[in-house]
Amino acid sequence: MDTEWGVRGRAIDCHSHLVPPAYGNTILEEAERNPAFRQLAVRNRLLPDGGAAGPASALVSVDLRLAEMDEAGVAVSAISVPPPGPALGPKARAVSSTAATNDGLIALAEQHPARLRVLASLPLPHVDATLEEIDRIAAHTLVRGVVLMTVGAEWTLDEARLEPVYACLAEHRMVAALHPALEDVGRAFGDFGLTASVAPVVSSSLGALRLALSGMLDRVSDLDVIVPHLGGLMPYLTQRIIDLSGRAQASFTIEHYLADRFYLDTCSFHPPALECALQTTPVSRMLLGSDAPFRGAVARAVEDVRKSALTPFDQIAVLGGNAARWFA
């Protein structure tokens, strides 16, 4: 742990979102082409009701985000685009929009290189194009990792053909941050805000479980993976997963991966959930995550940690000491 980080005013937020113009255009164009996508985007608060306007100011204004960071005592934020990511449509369009989105995020970060880091998007599932994009962006000093959308409708992150992608990320020492996908999850999620509240946590949990139980994390043993929202469902269903899934194709049960392979971000804001997660995942693998602007101001995430039962030393670790290895 880097103890220079995490002290008051030196926090690192590993999970926040901004939308560069290129990605905003991609979302609007896809919404115009696909009414079902427009409905998903509206339900997930990526587009306002009606789906005709662009993203809200909190998703596009760097100045607003920096002001929130200053208020919260966050020195550095790792920014990424919210789901579904820019890899939409045919391969050529997916590759082009991914590159434009990444260049847009890098341009935003370059305006404030002391404050912003980039978690880039990938044109998955197109492996050849993804490897080329990793090599292209890895050379930029502000790009510290990638976001992997935990898709499941047409393909999944554990497919063997994606192993070279994870090996390439590990070779470049780029962290892989999982993020819930934006997919049609069924009629039962369509009411009461469940598409935004519950479905994303199910998505990220499935993605992480498939990476572990498929043996992918054993084969790519030096890949660092961040799971959002306190690990989703995994810390609270660990024994059930062990009882009913066992090790599957992995070398260990899920308890091992929660303790020794995954990093969890703190974006839950429910103190009993943090206490439960810490029974399985050590504090050395906990990272501050705000999910700004979707879960409120950045300060909410910092206060959640400061008001927790963690010792002052452990708070420093969670607020920035642990994340400094990638984002300092």
pLDDT tens per residue, range 35-54 = 888 877 777 677 776 545 55
Q: Among residues 304, 224, 217, 212, which one has the least CA distance to residue 264? A: 224
Burial of 182 (0-12, 13-18, 19+ CB in 10 A): buried
pLDDT tens digits, residue range 168-224? 999 999 999 999 988 777 778 878 888 778 888 999 999 999 999 999 999 999 999
Based on C-alpha coordinates, what's the Rg of the chain?
Answer: 18
The pLDDT assigned to 2 comes to: 81
- Is residue 49 within 8 Å of residue 130, measured between CB atoms? no
Q: Give the CATH number of domain 11-327; options: 3.40.50.1100, 3.30.43.10, 3.40.50.620, 3.20.20.140.
A: 3.20.20.140
Q: What is the pTM of this model?
A: 0.94
Q: Which DSSP string do the residues of 164-223 spell out, in sequence order?
A: HHHHHHHHTT-EEEEEE------GGGSSTTHHHHTHHHHHHHHHHHHHHHTTHHHHSTT-
Would you say residue 160 has pLDDT above 70? yes
pLDDT tens digits, residue range 64-92? 999 999 999 999 999 999 999 999 889 99
Instruction: Please report, rounded to a whole number, the percentage of residues in the chain having pLDDT higher than 70.
Output: 97
The pLDDT assigned to 55 comes to: 56
